[in-house]
Amino acid sequence: MAMQPGFGMYAPQQLGSQHALPGGGPRLQLPSLGGHAALGLPPTTLPQGGAFPQPLGSPLPAPMPYSAFLARANGGQFIGQQLGTPRGPCQLSAPVAAAAYGPYLGQPLQPLGQQPVQGMGGGVVKTADGQMRFQGGSLGRNGPTPTLSFGNQMGTLGNYAADVETMQENQICEQLGRTRFPSMAVAGPQAPSLPSGGALDGLLLEPGCARDLLARYPEVFRSEPPSEAGRKPHASGTFHGFNPGSYARKIFSPDAICRALRAADALWGGAPNVMRLMVPPRGRLVIVGDTHGQLEDVLWLFFKYGPPSAENQYLFNGDIVDRGGHALEILLLLLALKRDEPSCVHIIRGNHEDQTACTTFGFKAEIDSKFGLEGAGGWIFHLLTTQFFPLLPIGAVVSDVGGGFSAVVLHGGVPVRCPGLNGIVSIDNHINRVDRKQVTVQKQLNQRSVDDHILFNLLWADPAGPGENPAAGAGAGGRGNSYTEQETADFCSINRMRCVIRSHQVPKDGKGYEYHHNGRCITVFSASNYCGSQGNQGAVLLCAGDTYAQQGPRPSEHMAPAWPQLASVLAAVSFDAPQAERQLAASRAEANIHTPMGAVNSLSVQGPHQAPQWPQQQQQQKQQQQQQQQKLAPGLSALQQIEQFAAEQIVRHKRVLFVELASRDPQHHSIMPMAVWQACMAKILPEVPPVWQDLARQWELPAMVQYVEFLHRFQIVEQLSSSSSATHTDVFKAMGQLRIVISDIAAHDLLASADGDFNGSVSLEEFQGFLQAWKIQIPVWQAAAVYEGLVWSLKNQPNVEDILLAVALISRSGETGKNEVDANGINWQDVAKGVGETIMRASGGGSLVGFFRSCDVDRDGFLSPDELLAKLGDMLPRMGKQYTEEQLRTLVQHMDSQGVQNDRVSLIEFLRALGPRSLARELAGALLREVLKPIYFYRMMLEAYFQRFDPGSNNMVTVAQFQQGLQEMNRQLVADGGTELSEYQLQAVVEIASGNQPQVHYRAFLRALRVVDTVKRAGLVSLGQHSLWSFFASK
């Protein structure tokens, strides 16, 4: 294995040596490698006893760090003293250490002994300070047994990606739970004119045609792209090949969809909260978990296990919508099937079948992308979220005819510790009496009733793992209350159930199902390779009429092919083919999809002897293989999902990161070794999965990390096409209103106060102290942003003169920054900037501050008009710039106008007038990005808030309503320990979002905010330009 500079120390391994694991575990036999192995271990100081004993004759250093074991096998649970993180110490079993060590050595280690894992519950936990963090053992909630192949981190990364999703949902739910939503009543929307004439409208609406609609789906959607909601969460719901102009024409029209939805009340309006379902004695019932808009999984299930019928029933356990791009088609297909045969399909409501959830996580985006942002799309979304979803039952009891085995199916699980609830939740006395026809997350936590808490936890709660404190688990608070094994047993006992069947989570071991609580709780998840990043199998639970009473539900897994392969299989073998033929075709297809190392083989359902392929067929097969590879590249997609999350956290905590990184750089070189950088990142961002080495490779960081450039590359950008640079400039002027007091201060006083320790450079702390000393009113976080922008522009730590230049540029008011054009058409602002550039060139790399001081003949800290005229009149002609004396006097008056107009020019006024445009733009951008930061991190709450004013889902609110939402965000900012935005800053946001119009397209504005890696973005733009140039050059 090649050594990788910058990724830590290298430890040569002696052949056949043995090493004991920390904590007294069994010893490992290192395989013969015939060379050295790069371990990539950060050189950390180990606590006492935290080292491998040096084996006899080994060249290994003593002590030897074992961070790699902890980082890879234990979810980043480093020993606390190593990195100063809140994670505590742990023990490692031989299998876990072997899995961690193996990838570094290129082949697996063989444990010499086995011992049970102790205290290794995993996943995301909430610490005492209320933060979500990764704790050890996150390879599995029930212990750290690794699921990845040696040398292949796909399983680990998929687990981490799932944990990231859990954490994000938890944070969103917590924000919504404390939001004070507007209580005003808003009139319901009016139905718009709905177009008709979709190609599949007849099959959707005509009774008896549901099976024909099912048969048409595979070919209609053959060319659809796979879901990539993992690495592109901002695009969730839009992974399809249609637009508002084509969807209504080629698939379903808005008129047909709304007519189909009217049947929902007849099908579910009178249904109880908890359905009582009997497994067909001569058939079976198939329990389906989350599908999340992945229509290919639903079609594959209907093919593999047979289409729905009275003897082959399907129970969908919620979360049909969000993430993927085909939730609408799934819902409409299930509606049509149930209309034709009511007993063949049953649906339970999931936590995503909720107006707020599917506004946030992709279903709203799916509807908008198929029907447009206004009009018909908004009406369809309104009907689905306010009339269809609330009708769906919230549970089911599945029993055999004789009552020998009964299981309750709930989307999330058992409601426990609900405020106001005494005792154990009863299906008949509690769940069946809940008002289910309401939203579940769009309510303030302290205003929820007992029924509200029961409903929320039914849909959102997760089972607690072994030894996990349910009060601190991933589901605590935001995602509901985690329920323990004892609570599951009590619930089953009082309700006479054998087990609880639930969905809601991707199983941690890469399977499509998972057993919890000694088998009394079963998770089933049906979206295979969830979001294109998890790499998981999908699964269903088969309840067979002849075995259910004795054996209960039996799990069966699948991996749905990508669209082209799926269409090819279903073209060769129909849904109505005999079961044996379908099973054989499905087995062959899945065997060709997923090999142990994730490779993809060509798919064939025709047998070994195939007809010769024409070029068009070869191209089609190549396209199919590429799409299949894209579907089954979960390792890379999961890492990209984690990468995006890490970028967001870097932006969120950039100031704290800068302080920490700078503290490890006492010489102020703005550069540090990779190992130090990793340690700092892990310390400040414990919520990010411990894959910093992988992220460093993704970001192509060198062995010595230039940390200022690194932090600066991650920015919030706003991509509204209606926004203009002029609007941004005006916004900056409003934000940059600093006290006029510094405009008329002597230069030597300012210079002396900017450098507290007189070492020539100015640290962030000194910069903030300087601002406070001169009563410059700018929030701490904005001061850090300005400092970052300055350091980025200079590529070094700023000196005193740089700081004064920055303060001058950001303290311009709207008056001092205006363009001044005289009667002759001369723009004196442009002239002044040009003179500033000339001075910089004439001084051979000197500074504007130095020029100012050279002009100050009387050393009073100010420049008189005569001092300036003498110096400029001598220097400018030598640089080829000719101005009349009258023009020079006008230029001096322009400088004096930049602050206090008193016939003398202060240093600040001089710098304001002559400072470089490029630095002014950089500092303006830094301030603007900081103002948009809280908007970005509270965008989901804001979207739910504005939805209250927008019952028709047209994505528009008035400016006053938009301002009301910003005030609620400000309230939460303060409650979370942040700094509220000032009136100037709030007005800046309103101007950007509204474009000075009376209404705000709030969804477009919020969705236009992105955290981007500017380095990668620039690289993609450059690549695109190069490709375009190559294309035209070839013509």
Kindly report, residue by residue over 998-1018, the tens digit of the pLDDT.
999 999 999 999 999 988 877
Per-residue pLDDT at 142 exceeds 60 = no
Give me the pLDDT at residue 426, please: 96
Give me the pLDDT at residue 176, please: 86
Give me the pLDDT at residue 1020, please: 55
Of the ranges 29-43, 94-108, 328-342, 858-872, which one carries the lowest mean pLDDT score? Answer: 29-43
Beta-sheet pairing, 312-316 with 345-347:
parallel
Query: DSSP 3-state assignment of 12?
Result: coil
| Tokens representing residue 271 in the block | 């249904």
Per-residue pLDDT at 139 exceeds 90 = no
Strand pairing partners for 315?
A: 287, 346
Question: Whole-angstrom Cα distance, residue 920 to residue 911?
Answer: 11
Q: Which H or E run includes 921?
A: helix 917-937
pLDDT (mean) for 653-657: 89
Per-residue pLDDT at 459 exceeds 60 = yes
Give the CB-side neighbour count of residue 625, counting CA atoms within 13 A.
13
Per-residue pLDDT at 464 exceeds 70 = yes
**Across all residues in the chain, what is the average pLDDT?**
76
Question: Whole-angstrom Cα distance, residue 526 to residue 528?
Answer: 6
Segments in 483-612 forming alpha helices (H): 485-495, 548-551, 563-572, 579-593
Query: DSSP 3-state assignment of 384?
Result: helix
Give me the pLDDT at residue 75, please: 34
Question: Whole-angstrom Cα distance, residue 245 to residue 99?
Answer: 51
Per-residue pLDDT at 286 exceeds 60 = yes
Contact present, 689 and 160 (Cβ < 8 Å):
yes
Give me the pLDDT at residue 718, please: 78
Give me the pLDDT at residue 77, please: 31
Give me the pLDDT at residue 763, please: 84
Contact present, 482 and 468 (Cβ < 8 Å):
yes
- DSSP conformation letters of 457-481: HHHH--BPPTT--TTTSTTSSTT--
For residue range 626-641, what is the model confidence (pLDDT) as tens digits? 444 444 455 567 888 8
| Tokens representing residue 975 in the block | 């409650």
Q: Where is pLDDT greater, at 944 or 726?
A: 944
Of the ranges 56-65, 344-353, 741-750, which one carries the lowest mean pLDDT score? Answer: 56-65
| Tokens representing residue 530 in the block | 């969830």
Q: Where is pLDDT greater, at 952 or 795?
A: 952
Strand pairing partners for 396?
A: 275, 409
Q: How confident is the model at residue 394 (pLDDT cuts 50, 70, 90)?
A: very high
Per-residue pLDDT at 333 exceeds 70 = yes
Of the ranges 580-584, 625-629, 727-731, which one carries the lowest mean pLDDT score? Answer: 727-731
Contact present, 154 and 634 (Cβ < 8 Å):
yes
Strand pairing partners for 83?
A: none
Question: Whole-angstrom Cα distance, residue 992 to residue 987?
Answer: 9
- Find the helix packing angle between 917-937 and 780-794, rounded to 10°: 140
Give me the pLDDT at residue 563, please: 94
In this structure, what is the dihedral angle of CA atoms 807, 813, 815, 821, given to the nearest 10 degrees? 50
- DSSP secondary-structure letter at 428? T
List all residues 6 or more positions away from 677 whose beta carbon is below 8 Å from its beta carbon. 661, 696, 701, 705, 707, 710
Question: 149-153, 567-571, 895-899 — which one is most confidently predicted on average?
Answer: 567-571
Question: Whole-angstrom Cα distance, residue 130 to residue 775?
Answer: 34
Distances from the Cα of 667 to the Cα of 410, 623, 662, 790, 847, angstroms: 59, 54, 9, 18, 23
Contact present, 935 and 1006 (Cβ < 8 Å):
yes
For residue range 960-988, what is the model confidence (pLDDT) as tens digits? 999 999 999 999 999 998 888 877 678 87
**What are the phi and psi torsion angles at 829 (to 5°)?**
-65, -45
For residue range 399-436, what is the model confidence (pLDDT) as tens digits? 999 888 999 999 999 999 988 888 899 999 999 999 99
For residue range 59-72, what is the model confidence (pLDDT) as tens digits? 333 333 333 333 33
For residue range 676-729, what is the model confidence (pLDDT) as tens digits? 999 999 999 999 999 999 999 999 999 999 888 899 899 888 765 444 443 333
Per-residue pLDDT at 55 exceeds 70 = no
Strand segments, DSSP code E, in 620-693 are 672-673
Q: Where is pLDDT greater, at 956 or 1021?
A: 956
Query: Can you state the percent helix, strand and coil of the chain, rounding each to 5?
Result: 45, 10, 45
At 196, the amino acid letter reads S
Give the CB-side neighbour count of residue 893, counting CA atoms within 13 A.
9
| Tokens representing residue 711 in the block | 């932090």
Give me the pLDDT at residue 1019, please: 64
Q: How confident is the model at residue 289 (pLDDT cuts 50, 70, 90)?
A: very high
Give the CB-side neighbour count of residue 906, counting CA atoms within 13 A.
24
Question: Percentage of residues in the chain with pLDDT exceeding 70?
Answer: 72
Strand segments, DSSP code E, in 871-1021 are 957-958, 999-1000, 1009-1013
- DSSP conformation letters of 547-583: THHHH--EEEEE-PPPHHHHHHHHHHS-TTS-HHHHH
Active site residue 352: yes
Per-residue pLDDT at 203 exceeds 90 = yes
For residue range 877-921, what is the model confidence (pLDDT) as tens digits? 887 888 888 889 999 999 998 888 899 999 989 998 898 877 776
Question: Whole-angstrom Cα distance, residue 484 to residue 424?
Answer: 13
Per-residue pLDDT at 19 exceeds 80 = no
Q: How confident is the model at residue 112 (pLDDT cuts 50, 70, 90)?
A: very low
Distances from the Cα of 705 to the Cα of 39, 675, 677, 761, 936, angstroms: 20, 9, 7, 21, 28
Of the ranges 369-383, 658-672, 916-930, which one carries the lowest mean pLDDT score? Answer: 916-930
Give me the pLDDT at residue 781, please: 64
Q: Where is pLDDT greater, at 393 or 1024?
A: 393
| Tokens representing residue 400 in the block | 């055999």
Question: Whole-angstrom Cα distance, residue 914 to residue 828?
Answer: 11
For residue range 209-252, what is the model confidence (pLDDT) as tens digits? 999 999 999 999 999 998 887 778 878 899 999 999 899 999 99
Q: How confident is the model at residue 4 (pLDDT cuts 50, 70, 90)?
A: very low
Question: Whole-angstrom Cα distance, residue 487 to residue 506?
Answer: 22
Q: How confident is the model at residue 487 (pLDDT cuts 50, 70, 90)?
A: very high
Residue (of 703, 783, 687, 641) closest to 230 by Cα position = 641
**968-977 contacts: CB < 8 A, separation 24 or more?**
968/179, 968/180, 968/941, 968/942, 969/934, 969/935, 969/938, 969/941, 969/942, 971/180, 972/175, 972/178, 972/179, 972/938, 972/941, 973/934, 973/938, 975/178
Question: Whole-angstrom Cα distance, residue 876 to residue 883?
Answer: 8
Of the ranges 562-571, 585-594, 754-763, which one carries the lowest mean pLDDT score? Answer: 754-763
Give me the pLDDT at residue 157, please: 79
Give me the pLDDT at residue 837, please: 87
At 204, the amino acid letter reads L
Give me the pLDDT at residue 759, please: 73
Catalytic residue among 19, 240, 292, 352: 352
For residue range 797-849, what is the model confidence (pLDDT) as tens digits? 788 888 888 878 876 554 444 455 766 778 888 888 889 888 888 877 678 99
Query: DSSP 3-state assignment of 823?
Result: coil
